[in-house]
Amino acid sequence: MKSQATEGQPLPGHANIKTRRWSVSLVWIVPIVAVLVGISLVVHNMLQQGPTITLNFKTGEGLTANKTEVKYRNVVIGHVSDVELSDDQKSVNATVKLVKQAESFTREDSKFWVVRPRIGAGGVSGIDTLLSGAFVGADAGRADARAKTFIGLEAPPPLTLGEPGRHFMLHTQDLGSLDIGSPVYFRKIPVGQVVAYTLDSEGKGVDIQVFVKAPNDAHVTENTRFWNVSGIAIDVGANGFAIKTESLSAMLVGGITFRAPDYSPNDQPAAEDKNFELFDNQQTALAPPNGKAQFLSLRFDQELRGLKVDAPVEFQGLDIGKVVAINLDFDEKTRSFPINVGIVIYPQRLGQAHTKMLKALNHNPDDEQAGVQLMGTFVEKGLRAQARSGNLLTGQLYIALEFFPKAEKVVFDPNARPVRIPTVPASLEQLQEQLQAMVDKINKLPIEHIANNLDSNLTELRSSLKQFNSKTLPGVQNTLQDMSKTLQSASSTLAEDSPQREQLSATLDELGRASRSLRELSDYLTRHPESLVRGRPKGAQAQDLQPSSSH
């Protein structure tokens, strides 16, 4: 009985424990798997999601939320998720979500722009967007710092960061027809382009940054010269006409070319960002170094029509400077209007002559006072400035510095600044003065009085000739005829073969010729009485001396 009770009932102090098994129905397996997959996708998407940045553009042209893509080298690296006006309503903010691999595009010097069809200095771009629509172009920067907001560019940058080559800085007076994207040539082959420009710190010029692609950047050396080849260069000056152009592209969008002078010993490649001067033309660029400039003042009392600023200044036919100013002045003493001309010369352009002169005279070109004294010495020896015609067709003038040993002495002022060089009249003006002096002398001659005297003398000569012909000449002829008759009678008394008869015959012949000559002289003087004063003309023909047929 005890055992049964023990088997049927729990022991005192112990409770009965019931065990229950959990079982999952197959119906719940699919939702659970779906949830797990969704969670994994969300986690994966969060892990793969790239940064979000904001681009600020002036307009929203070409930007559409959830449609406009962001591309780099034509590969999609993100998309525009939202487009809205800025807080000041003066621009547009575009929110861009980048992919994970495009995290480098958050560097603070990264660039973004809207790619749309454009025609610019670099050519035609963005034609494919006519069909596919505009997109945002991107270029990763190199900076270490990161940014979330960027200012979008209004035009694509001319170069992609990281492209091999070197940048150089050019300085010029004005930009001219150059623009970003204008080509850079080397021996008429495009090797680079203009990438940026800005005013210099003083606002007196323009700094132009150019990029020359590798390997052609090695041709830019320490002695390289750059010059502008934009458009068509037409030079009409004292040296005549000159027309030059680099290429059709340079004519339309401007351009720059460069090369070193032919003689450039020990030349080395230029360093990155080296500064160069941008010259206006090839002739100026490849000319010898100008050296230190020296300003001079000239004063002309003559008309200088045809003289322009930038006209050349020459010494012994060599171009050593140019005209920089032309101003009309007033002289109170003479009540005249002289012309002041300012010129700049570069003595170093004289080359070897300049070097030898400095050595021979022991002159220091940096000593300004010594330079003034040297110029005074040249003036004492006849150094003068003269305006000369450089082109008869265009009438252009240039300034010539020459030595005139016979020039009038002048007092040189060593304290004048700039130094003043005396002038002499132009060669054409000197010729005009000489012609005018000749005309004045001719006008001073008593032409009318001389003509009256000559006319009276000719009248007296005619009357004398008439008296000679009417009285003197007939008497002489009668005398000769009587003498001839006497000799003929004497000849008849002489023997035919005697020597006296032959001599008498010869004498008679001479008398006949003398009589004929006398008649011819009388006839000629009758027709040309002035020959008694002037003599027989050199070109007189023999028939002019023959007696007239009426005699």
Give dist(CA 134, CA 54) in Å, integer: 18
Please state the pTM of the whole predicted model: 0.51
Give the pLDDT confidence of 222-267 residue by residue, as tens digits.
999 999 887 655 555 555 555 555 555 555 557 899 999 887 778 8
Query: Can you say whether the dihedral through the CA atoms of 408, 412, 417, 418 is positive or negative?
Result: positive
What is the token pair recorded at 258?
Answer: 């460069």
Cβ pair 83, 104 in contact under 8 A: no
pLDDT band (50, 70, 90) for residue 23: low
H-helix or E-strand spanning residue 139: strand 135-139
The alpha-helical segments, DSSP class H, found in 395-472 are: 427-444, 447-467
pLDDT above 60: residue 121? no
Give the pLDDT confidence of 433-444 residue by residue, as tens digits.
566 667 777 777
Cβ pair 120, 179 in contact under 8 A: yes
SS3 of 149-202? EEECECCCCCCCCCCCEEEEEEEECCCCCCCCCCEEEECCEEEEEEEEEEECCC
Q: How many residues does the chain have?
A: 551
Mean pLDDT of 453-474: 71
Residue 152's identity, in one-letter code, is: G
Residue for token digits 């390997």? 215
pLDDT of residue 521: 72
Among 60-69, 250-259, 309-318, 361-370, where is mean pLDDT lowest? 250-259
pLDDT of residue 285: 86
Give the pLDDT confidence of 477-519 residue by residue, as tens digits.
777 777 777 767 766 665 555 666 667 677 777 777 777 777 7
What is the torsion angle, in degrees rounded to the nearest 10, for the CA atoms of residue 7, residue 8, residue 11 and residue 13? 170
Mean pLDDT of 119-136: 61
What is the token pair recorded at 256?
Answer: 């720059």
Task: Collapse the DSSP code of 127 into the 3-class scheme (helix H, G, I; strand E, B; otherwise coil) and give the result.
Answer: coil
pLDDT of residue 46: 66
Cβ pair 472, 452 in contact under 8 A: no
120 forms beta bridges with: 123
H-helix or E-strand spanning residue 299: strand 294-300
243 forms beta bridges with: 234
Q: How many CB atoms lie within 10 A of CB 440?
A: 9
**Phi/psi of residue 29, nearest 5 degrees:** -65, -40
Mean pLDDT of 150-157: 86
Give dist(CA 428, CA 466) in Å, integer: 55
Cα 514–Cα 518–Cα 520 angle in degrees, nearest 5: 115
pLDDT of residue 232: 58
Report residue 32 CA to chain centroid gap.
84
Average per-residue pLDDT for the chain: 79
pLDDT band (50, 70, 90) for residue 547: very low
Give the pLDDT confidence of 401-431 residue by residue, as tens digits.
999 988 888 888 888 889 999 998 876 555 5
End-to-end CA distance of the chain: 216
Q: How many CB atoms lie within 10 A of CB 34?
A: 10
Where exactly are the structural domains of the chain? 46-151, 165-285, 294-433, 447-489+501-545
Cβ pair 172, 208 in contact under 8 A: yes
pLDDT of residue 219: 93
Q: Are strands 92-99 and 111-115 parallel, antiparallel or unpaired?
A: unpaired
Residue for token digits 């230190």? 292
Give dist(CA 94, CA 110) in Å, integer: 16
DSSP 8-state secondary structure symbol assigned to residue 128: T
